[in-house]
C-alpha cells in the first residue's frame, strides 16, 4: 500500500481514467485520484488537462484533499488563468474560516498562484490576514506580501502593504517579526533605492529581542538584516556584538556564519585597545573551526568565507593551522580550499609543519591537488623568507621523483623563487636543466626559458638549450614564444660574440614569420633597440627587475571590505561583489564596512593580476607594472598588518617618511613594462612600514629632497582668539593648527590678563569627528604671572575616540588651571588631517573615481585666484594635496588630485583652472569622496590654502 501504485497506468490512457475518477461521487476515490494526479505532477508529467476536474474537488471539508488540490493549483494556475478564477471564491471563503490553519493555508496558496487576475481579489483577504489575531496567520501573510510583490510590485505599493509589513517588525511575536524581516529583505533586494528596512536603535533593539526567540531560519534573516545597520558609535556596536555572540554556539551553521558576518562588520568600529575586542577575536575562532567538522558542502562554503576572514583578520585563526590539514578522502573542492588557507596562515612559526604537509600532499593521487600543493611550496618560499632554503630543497626532492607534472610545477615555482631571491639559489639550475626534455606544458617551458635567459652567463650551453627550443618555434604557444624571444635577446647581450646568428634567427621568426601582433611588436622593439643603441638595449633588457611581492593573490582591499559585508552569501563563495554576477545587476547596493577604518584600505583598480592569468611575458605570479605598484602601495596600507594601522601610526609617520624610498626605485627601471610609469610629479613620500619588503634602506638623495619638500609643512593660519579673557577669568587663549612632517599640533598662546598667578594647566578635548586628541599633556613650565604670555605647541594625534560633530571640524576643548575649568570650541582647518601618503596611483585614481557614485560628487567655485596651474599644484602639494595628473583641455588646465585623511578616507579632486579676468583665475573644484560630508570642508581647505 504505497504511493508507487499511483504511478501505474492502464492501457486506456491515464488522463481519461483519472478524469473519470476525479468526477466520482465517492470521496475516497476522488482523493485517491487527486493523489495520482499529484504523483504524476511530481515526476514532471503534464496533467494540466485535468484542471477543471481537480478544481471541482476543492470545495471540501477534508483538509488533506484541500491541500492536495492547492498543490495542484499552484503548479498549473499559470497555464490556465481563466480557470483559476474559479478557485477564487473558495479562497476568499477560506480566509474567513474559524480555523487559523485554514486561513493561513488559503492566504499562503493564493499568493502562490501567479495569475494577475487573481491578485486583485487577493488584496482584501490579505489585508485582513495581516491584522489577524492569530500570529500564525500574520506570519504567513507577511510572506504573502513578498510573493505578491514579486508578481505585481505596483499593486503592493498602492495598497499600502509595505507599511503594514513595516509595522509587523514591531509585532509581539518573534516569528512574525522574523518573517516580516525576511519579506522586507526580499522586497528590498529588487528595490535597491527604496528605504524599506529603515533601521534605527529602537527597531534594532526589537530585532535583537526577537533574535533570541525565533526559529533558526528567522535568526538568519534577522542577523543578515542587522548586518546592514551602521551603529552610531562604538558603544552601540559593542552592545550589538554582545547580544549577537551567543549565536556563535548555534547548531545551524548558517546562523553561525551570519553571526560571524555581523561581528566582523561591527568589530571594525571597536577600538583595538578595548578588552572586549580581544575577547571577541578569541570567541570567533572556535565556531569557525567547528564549521570545518561539518559535512563537506558546508565545509566548502565555510572555507571560502574563512579565506576572506583570514585575509581581513589573520589573528583570529593564526593558531589553528592544523585544522586545515587535508585528509586524503576530503572531496577535491575542500582540499583545494584548505590548501589555499594553509598558505595564507603560513608564518615563520609554523612553516616547518606546513612544508612537511605540503610535501606529503605532493605524493597524492589527485593530479590537480598535487600541482596546487607544489605551487603552494613555492608560495611559502616567497612568503616566509626564512623558509626559502628549505622550500627549494623540498622542490628539488620533488623534481627527483621525475613525476612529470610535479617536475613542471616545481620549475614554474622555482622561477618565482629566483625572482624573489635573485642570485641565491643558482646552484639548482643544473638539476633543472636535466629535466628540460620532459617539459611539455607551455607554462613550464616558458619558466625554464626565462631561467636560462636570466642566468645565461652561468649556463655554459645556454645557447644550445635555447636553440633547441627555437626549432619548433611556430608550434609553441605565445607565452613560450615571447619568453624565448626575450631570453635569446638577453643571451645575446650577455654573450654577443657567439650568439649573433641565433638572435637574428629569432628576430626574423618573430617579426616576419609570425602573425601574432604582440610577438611581432616586441620583436621589432628589440630589433630597433639592438640596431640603434646596444648599450641602451642592455640597460633596458638586462635592467634589474622589481622584486615580486609576497602575496599577489590577496583580494584587493576595497573588494575584501565589501566581501566581508557579504560573508555567508554567494558573493563570499565567488569572492566577487554581487554586482559582478547577480542577474542583471538588479538590486545591488554596494556595501561597505563602517567608516572608522573601512576606507583606510585604499581603493584600487579591480583587476589585480590574479594568479593563473598568463599575461604575455610576465609570468603569472608577477603582476604587471601598474599592479605591482598598486600592491606595494597596499602593503603600506597593510591588510596583512592587522586592523586600522593609520590612526596610530600617523604620529611617527614623518620620521619614517624619509626612509620610504623603495617606491621610485621600482618605478624607474622596469624594462618590459610598456605603460608609462612617471606620473609627472615628484614621487610621493610613501611611508614604508618597517619590515615591509620595499627595501626601505634605499633612501637616495632624491628621496631625501622630496622628504624635505614636505618638511616645509602645510599652510598655517594666523592665530585667532579662541577664548577671550572676559569669559575665562582673565585667561586669554588664542591659537591655530599646524601640520608638519606628519604630525599635527595645536599652537597655543596663553596670556594671563588677570591679577593673580596661574598654574596647573591641563587640557582635554571632547570626542570629535576625527579622533583628535592631545598626544602629550599641556606643559606650561613656569607659573604664568599676570600680563605674561607663553607660546606652547601641543602635539596632537588622531587616536582619540570618535564622534561625529556638527560641523564636522568642530573641536570642543576644556582648559583647566588653578582658577577654574573653561570650555571653548573651535573649528580646525581640515588640511591638518591630510596625510603625507595621500598620493594615489593613477590607475587606482581612475578606478576609484568611477567607483564612487555620482551623487557623492560635490562642485565648488574658487574665484579670483592669482596662481597658475603649476603654482596651484605646488602650493597644494605642500599641504599634502597631491596632483596625480594634469591635462590641458581647450586652454583650460585640469588637475587631478588626491588626498587622504588621517582616518583613511580618500578624497579625489578634479580642479579646472579657467582664466577669468586677466590676472586672476577662476577655479572649479569637483570633489568625490565616499564620505561626501567632508567635501565642504575639503573645499574650505582648498580655498584657504590657495588664497594665502
Partner 1 sequence: MIHSLFLINSSGDIFLEKHWKSVVSRSVCDYFFEAQERATEAENVPPVIPTPHHYLLSVYRHKIFFVAVIQTEVPPLFVIEFLHRVVDTFQDYFGVCSEPVIKDNVVVVYEVLEEMLDNGFPLATESNILKELIKPPTILRTVVNTITGSTNVGDQLPTGQLSVVPWRRTGVKYTNNEAYFDVIEEIDAIIDKSGSTITAEIQGVIDACVKLTGMPDLTLSFMNPRLLDDVSFHPCVRFKRWESERILSFIPPDGNFRLLSYHVSAQNLVAIPVYVKHNISFRDSSSLGRFEITVGPKQTMGKTIEGVTVLSQMPRGVLNMSLIPSQGTHTFDPVTKMLSWDVGKINPQKLPSLKGTMSLQAGASKPDENPTINLQFKIQQLAISGLKVNRLDMYGEKYKPFKGIKYMTKAGKFQVRT
Residue (75 or 788) nearer to partner 1, CB: 75
Among 86, 92, 143, 704, binds partner 1 (CB under 8 A): 143
Angle subtended at Cα 771 by Cα 768 and Cα 772, rounded to the nearest 5 degrees: 90
DSSP SS3 for 647: helix
Q: Which residues are registered as beta bridge partners of 117?
A: none
Q: Residue 783 in contact with residue 759, Cβ under 8 Å?
A: yes
Smallest separation, CB 22 to partner 1 (Å): 15
Residue (401 or 914) nearer to partner 1, CB: 401
Restricting to residues 336-355, name those near partner 1 by CB under 8 A: 353
Closest CA to 943 of 827, 864, 880, 835: 864
Residue (363 or 787) nearer to partner 1, CB: 363
Closest CA to 765 of 784, 737, 790: 737
Smallest separation, CB 451 to partner 1 (Å): 25
Q: Count Cα neighbours of 371 within 13 Å in the Cβ-side half-sphere.
A: 13
Restricting to residues 314-333, name those near partner 1 by CB under 8 A: 320, 322-323, 325, 327-329, 331-333
Closest CA to 203 of 238, 250, 171: 171
Among 116, 120, 216, 434, binds partner 1 (CB under 8 A): 216
Restricting to residues 148-177, name those near partner 1 by CB under 8 A: 150, 173, 175
Residue (333 or 824) nearer to partner 1, CB: 333
378: left (phi over 0), alpha (psi -120 to 50) or beta: alpha
Report residue 870: phi and psi, to 5°: -60, -50
Smallest separation, CB 219 to partner 1 (Å): 9
Under the binding rule (CB under 8 A), the answer on residue 49 touching partner 1 is no
- Listed as own residue / partner, the contacts of 57-64 with beta carbons closer than 8 Å and 24 or more positions apart are 57/22, 57/30, 58/87, 58/90, 59/90, 60/27, 62/27, 62/31, 63/101, 63/102, 64/31
With cell 485520484, the residue in question is 33
Under the binding rule (CB under 8 A), the answer on residue 192 touching partner 1 is no
DSSP SS3 for 618: strand
Smallest separation, CB 934 to partner 1 (Å): 31
Which residues are CB-neighbours of 726 under 8 A, at least 6 positions away?
Answer: none
Smallest separation, CB 25 to partner 1 (Å): 13
Among 54, 65, 392, 802, binds partner 1 (CB under 8 A): 65
Stretch near partner 1 under the rule CB under 8 A, chosen from 249-257, 416-424, 681-689, 841-849: 249-257
Site string for partner 1, 524-553 (x = CB under 8 A): ------------------------------
How far is the C-alpha of 372 from the C-alpha of 356, rounded, in Å?
Answer: 15
Under the binding rule (CB under 8 A), the answer on residue 112 touching partner 1 is yes
Smallest separation, CB 576 to partner 1 (Å): 10
Site string for partner 1, 75-94 (x = CB under 8 A): x--x----------------
Smallest separation, CB 339 to partner 1 (Å): 15
Residue (35 or 272) nearer to partner 1, CB: 35
Among 277, 574, 702, 822, binds partner 1 (CB under 8 A): 574
Residue (182 or 310) nearer to partner 1, CB: 182
Smallest separation, CB 325 to partner 1 (Å): 5
Strand segments, DSSP code E, in 526-582 are: none
Smallest separation, CB 159 to partner 1 (Å): 18
How many residues belong to the chain?
Answer: 948
Under the binding rule (CB under 8 A), the answer on residue 224 touching partner 1 is yes
Among 111, 626, 645, 660, binds partner 1 (CB under 8 A): 111
Residue (587 or 616) nearer to partner 1, CB: 587
Under the binding rule (CB under 8 A), the answer on residue 624 touching partner 1 is no
Among 161, 229, 266, 300, binds partner 1 (CB under 8 A): 300
Q: Residue 701 in contact with residue 667, Cβ under 8 Å?
A: no
Kindly state the cell numbers that stand for 347: 608564518
Task: Give kind and range of the element (H or E) at residue 738.
Answer: strand 731-740
Under the binding rule (CB under 8 A), the answer on residue 217 touching partner 1 is yes
Q: Residue 64 in contact with residue 97, Cβ under 8 Å?
A: no
Under the binding rule (CB under 8 A), the answer on residue 581 touching partner 1 is yes
Under the binding rule (CB under 8 A), the answer on residue 9 touching partner 1 is no
Q: Residue 351 in contact with residue 386, Cβ under 8 Å?
A: yes
How far is the C-alpha of 756 from the C-alpha of 758, rounded, in Å?
Answer: 6
Restricting to residues 394-423, name those near partner 1 by CB under 8 A: 401, 403
End-to-end CA distance of the chain: 95
Under the binding rule (CB under 8 A), the answer on residue 254 touching partner 1 is yes
With cell 639559489, the residue in question is 425
Kindly state the cell numbers that stand for 680: 609627472
Kindly state the cell numbers that stand for 918: 586677466
Residue (320 or 747) nearer to partner 1, CB: 320
Smallest separation, CB 569 to partner 1 (Å): 5
Under the binding rule (CB under 8 A), the answer on residue 258 touching partner 1 is yes
Restricting to residues 360-379, name those near partner 1 by CB under 8 A: 360, 363-365
Under the binding rule (CB under 8 A), the answer on residue 182 touching partner 1 is yes
Closest CA to 550 of 304, 322, 303, 311: 311
Closest CA to 510 of 537, 483, 530, 539: 483
Smallest separation, CB 729 to partner 1 (Å): 53
Q: Which residues are registered as beta bridge partners of 239?
A: none
Smallest separation, CB 293 to partner 1 (Å): 5
Under the binding rule (CB under 8 A), the answer on residue 68 touching partner 1 is yes
Amino acid at each position: 500500500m504505497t504511493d508507487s501504485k499511483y504511478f501505474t497506468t492502464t492501457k486506456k490512457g491515464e488522463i481519461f481514467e483519472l478524469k473519470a475518477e476525479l468526477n466520482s461521487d465517492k470521496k475516497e476515490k476522488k482523493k485517491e485520484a487527486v493523489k495520482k494526479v499529484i504523483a504524476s505532477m511530481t515526476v514532471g508529467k503534464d496533467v494540466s488537462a485535468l484542471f477543471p476536474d481537480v478544481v471541482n474537488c476543492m470545495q471540501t471539508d477534508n483538509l488533506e484533499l484541500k491541500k492536495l488540490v492547492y498543490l495542484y493549483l499552484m503548479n498549473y494556475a499559470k497555464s490556465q488563468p481563466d480557470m483559476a478564477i474559479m478557485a477564487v471564491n473558495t479562497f476568499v471563503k477560506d480566509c474567513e474560516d474559524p480555523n487559523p490553519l485554514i486561513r493561513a493555508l488559503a492566504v499562503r496558496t493564493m499568493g502562490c498562484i501567479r495569475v494577475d487576475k487573481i491578485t486583485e481579489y487577493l488584496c482584501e483577504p490579505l489585508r485582513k490576514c495581516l491584522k489577524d489575531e492569530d500570529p500564525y496567520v500574520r506570519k504567513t501573510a507577511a510572506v504573502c506580501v513578498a510573493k505578491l510583490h514579486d508578481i505585481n510590485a505596483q499593486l503592493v505599493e498602492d495598497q499600502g502593504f509595505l507599511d503594514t509589513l513595516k509595522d509587523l517588525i514591531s509585532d509581539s511575536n518573534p516569528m512574525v517579526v522574523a518573517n516580516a524581516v525576511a519579506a522586507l529583505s526580499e522586497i528590498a533586494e529588487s528595490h535597491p533605492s527604496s528605504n524599506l528596512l529603515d533601521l534605527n536603535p529602537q527597531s534594532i533593539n526589537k530585532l535583537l529581542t526577537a533574535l533570541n526567540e525565533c526559529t533558526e531560519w528567522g535568526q538568519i534573516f534577522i542577523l543578515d538584516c542587522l548586518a546592514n545597520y551602521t551603529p552610531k558609535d562604538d558603544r552601540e556596536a559593542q552592545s550589538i556584538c554582545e547580544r549577537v555572540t551567543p549565536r556563535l554556539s548555534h547548531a545551524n551553521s548558517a546562523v553561525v556564519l551570519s553571526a560571524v558576518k555581523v561581528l566582523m562588520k561591527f568589530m571594525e568600529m571597536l577600538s583595538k585597545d578595548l578588552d572586549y575586542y580581544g575577547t571577541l577575536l578569541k570567541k570567533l575562532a572556535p565556531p569557525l573551526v567547528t564549521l570545518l567538522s561539518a559535512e563537506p558542502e558546508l565545509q566548502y562554503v565555510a572555507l571560502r568565507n574563512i579565506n576572506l576572514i583570514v585575509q581581513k583578520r589573520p589573528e583570529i585563526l593564526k593558531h589553528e593551522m592544523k585544522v586545515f590539514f587535508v585528509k586524503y578522502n576530503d572531496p577535491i573542492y575542500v582540499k583545494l580550499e584548505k590548501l589555499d588557507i594553509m598558505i595564507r596562515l603560513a608564518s615563520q612559526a609554523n612553516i616547518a609543519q606546513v612544508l612537511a604537509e605540503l610535501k606529503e600532499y605532493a605524493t597524492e593521487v589527485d593530479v590537480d591537488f598535487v600541482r596546487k600543493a607544489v605551487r603552494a611550496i613555492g608560495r611559502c618560499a616567497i612568503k616566509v623568507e626564512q623558509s626559502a632554503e628549505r622550500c627549494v630543497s623540498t622542490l628539488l626532492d620533488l623534481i627527483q621523483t621525475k613525476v612529470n607534472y610535479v617536475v613542471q610545477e616545481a620549475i614554474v615555482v622555482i622561477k618565482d623563487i629566483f625572482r624573489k631571491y635573485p642570485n641565491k639559489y643558482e646552484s639548482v639550475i643544473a638539476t633543472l636543466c636535466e629535466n628540460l626534455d620532459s617539459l611539455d606544458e607551455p607554462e613550464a617551458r616558458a619558466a625554464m626559458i626565462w631561467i636560462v635567459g636570466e642566468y645565461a652567463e652561468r649556463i655554459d650551453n645556454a645557447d644550445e638549450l635555447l636553440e633547441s627550443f627555437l626549432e619548433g618555434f611556430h608550434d609553441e604557444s605565445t607565452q613560450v614564444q615571447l619568453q624565448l624571444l626575450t631570453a635569446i635577446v638577453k643571451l645575446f647581450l650577455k654573450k654577443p660574440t657567439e650568439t649573433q646568428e641565433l638572435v637574428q634567427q629569432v628576430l626574423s621568426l618573430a617579426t616576419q614569420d609570425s602573425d601574432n601582433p604582440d610577438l611581432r611588436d616586441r620583436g621589432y622593439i628589440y630589433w630597433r633597440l639592438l640596431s640603434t643603441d646596444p648599450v641602451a638595449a642592455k640597460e633596458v633588457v638586462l635592467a634589474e627587475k622589481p622584486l615580486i611581492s609576497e602575496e599577489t593573490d590577496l583580494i584587493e582591499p576595497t573588494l575584501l571590505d565589501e566581501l566581508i559585508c557579504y560573508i555567508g552569501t554567494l558573493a563570499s563563495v565567488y569572492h566577487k561583489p554581487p554586482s559582478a554576477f547577480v542577474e542583471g545587476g538588479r538590486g545591488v547596493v554596494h556595501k561597505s564596512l563602517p567608516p572608522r577604518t573601512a576606507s583606510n584600505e585604499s581603493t584600487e583598480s579591480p583587476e589585480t593580476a590574479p594568479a593563473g592569468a598568463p599575461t604575455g611575458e610576465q609570468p603569472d605570479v608577477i603582476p604587471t607594472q601598474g599592479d605591482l605598484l598598486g600592491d606595494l602601495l597596499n602593503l603600506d596600507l597593510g591588510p596583512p598588518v592587522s586592523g586600522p594601522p593609520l590612526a596610530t601610526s600617523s604620529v611617527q609617520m614623518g620620521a619614517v617618511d624619509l626612509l620610504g624610498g623603495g617606491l621610485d626605485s621600482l618605478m624607474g627601471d622596469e624594462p618590459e613594462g610598456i605603460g608609462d610609469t612617471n606620473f609627472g610629479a615628484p614621487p610621493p613620500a610613501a611611508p614604508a612600514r618597517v619590515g615591509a619588503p620595499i627595501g626601505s634602506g634605499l633612501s637616495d638623495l632624491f628621496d631625501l629632497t622630496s622628504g624635505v619638500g614636505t618638511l616645509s609643512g602645510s599652510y598655517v593660519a594666523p592665530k585667532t582668539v579662541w577664548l577671550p579673557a572676559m569669559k575665562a577669568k582673565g585667561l586669554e587663549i588664542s591659537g591655530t593648527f599646524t601640520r608638519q612632517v606628519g604630525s599635527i599640533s595645536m599652537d597655543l598662546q596663553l596670556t594671563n590678563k588677570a591679577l593673580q598667578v596661574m598654574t596647573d594647566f591641563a587640557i582635554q578635548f571632547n570626542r570629535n569627528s576625527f579622533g583628535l586628541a592631545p598626544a602629550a599633556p599641556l606643559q606650561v613650565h613656569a607659573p604664568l604671572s599676570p600680563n605674561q604670555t607663553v607660546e606652547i605647541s601641543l602635539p596632537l594625534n588622531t587616536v582619540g575616540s570618535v564622534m561625529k560633530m556638527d560641523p564636522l571640524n568642530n573641536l570642543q576643548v576644556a582648559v583647566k588651571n588653578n582658577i577654574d575649568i573653561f570650555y571653548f570650541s573651535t573649528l580646525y582647518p581640515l588640511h591638518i588631517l591630510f596625510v603625507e601618503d595621500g598620493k594615489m596611483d593613477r590607475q587606482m585614481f581612475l578606478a576609484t573615481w568611477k567607483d564612487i557614485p555620482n551623487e557623492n560628487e560635490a562642485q565648488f567655485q574658487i574665484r579670483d585666484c592669482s596662481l597658475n596651474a603649476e603654482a596651484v599644484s605646488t602650493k597644494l602639494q605642500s599641504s599634502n594635496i597631491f596632483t596625480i595628473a594634469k591635462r590641458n583641455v581647450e586652454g583650460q588646465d585640469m588637475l587631478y588630485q588626491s588626498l587622504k585623511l588621517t582616518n583613511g578616507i580618500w578624497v579625489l579632486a578634479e580642479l579646472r583652472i579657467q582664466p577669468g579676468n586677466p590676472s586672476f583665475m577662476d577655479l572649479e573644484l569637483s570633489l568625490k569622496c565616499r564620505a561626501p560630508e567632508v567635501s565642504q570642508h575639503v573645499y574650505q581647505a582648498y580655498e584657504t590654502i590657495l588664497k594665502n
